[in-house]
A and B are shown apart, each in its own frame.
Chain A
Amino acid sequence: SYDLTQPPSVSVSPGQTASITCSGDKLGDKSACWYQQKPGQAPVLVIYQDTKRPSGIPERFSGSNSGNTATLTISGTQAMDEADYYCQAWDSSTGVFGGGTRLTVL
């Protein structure tokens, strides 16, 4: 089975840049998505096709994907960005999520 690995936690100070990585074999050859989930809420799509933002997602969210690593970057991180973040990709017609990263803004 295909595995995606994320760091369990990332901390960032308000106004700074947060980077969350997602690693998988030849992930750069696949299309990566990122979801934000706040406590008690359903996930929200924040990045698709590696770099694209859905309508309504702030410009401070950006993505990249190359080699074995996809990265979600949040520039000028705000307190409201504190949440769990999950990457997702496809392998052999199966959707796979990473284990999730808790972003703490402190």
Chain B
Amino acid sequence: EVQLVQSGTEVKKPGESLKISCKGSGYSFTNYWIGWVRQMPGKGLEWMGMMYPGDSDTRYSPSFQGQVTMSADKSISTAYLQWSSLKASDTAMYYCARQVWNYVGGHYYYNGMDVWGQGTTVTVSS
């Protein structure tokens, strides 16, 4: 079974650092992009960025560039999302998801985020 399993709930204080994880199984982890999505309480989905574990190529949404760091350890099929100094406004649910593209006839076609982790709740409060 293809799945992504995320690390557990975090409660932190402003200014603290944090690294959450997303472990893939049941597929070739290095051959698919992993995307991260934020969902603030009662709000919609926001695409934060993505990383290709095969070569660590990383793309960030302009809204999140410089705010978070994405990384991966392909030896243990795990992707990470980290903050160096949390703010109260980072309080949210964070999802990782496998992003799929197909290359057909010289074109890349986006097939969506087809497998999602269960989400990690991050609460930042003094």
Name A's B-contacting residues (CB within 8 A).
1, 31, 33, 35, 37, 42-45, 47-49, 52, 54, 84, 86, 88, 90, 93-100
Contact = CB atoms under 8 A, between A and B. Distances in A.
Contacts, number: 66
Interface majority SS on A: helix, strand, loop or mixed? strand
B110 A42 contact: no
Interface residues of B, number: 23
29 contacts: A31-B109, A33-B110, A37-B45, A42-B95, A42-B116, A42-B118, A42-B119, A43-B45, A43-B113, A44-B116, A45-B112, A45-B113, A45-B114, A47-B112, A48-B110, A48-B111, A48-B112, A48-B114, A49-B110, A84-B44, A86-B44, A88-B45, A93-B59, A95-B50, A95-B61, A95-B99, A97-B45, A99-B44, A100-B45
Interface majority SS on B: helix, strand, loop or mixed? strand
Nearest to A49: B109
A13 to B, nearest CB: 26
Given A35-B45, A43-B45, A86-B44, A54 B50 contact: no
A35 B113 contact: yes
Given A45-B114, A48-B112, 4 more contacts: A33-B113, A43-B116, A88-B112, A97-B44
Contacts of A52: 111
Nearest to B59: A93
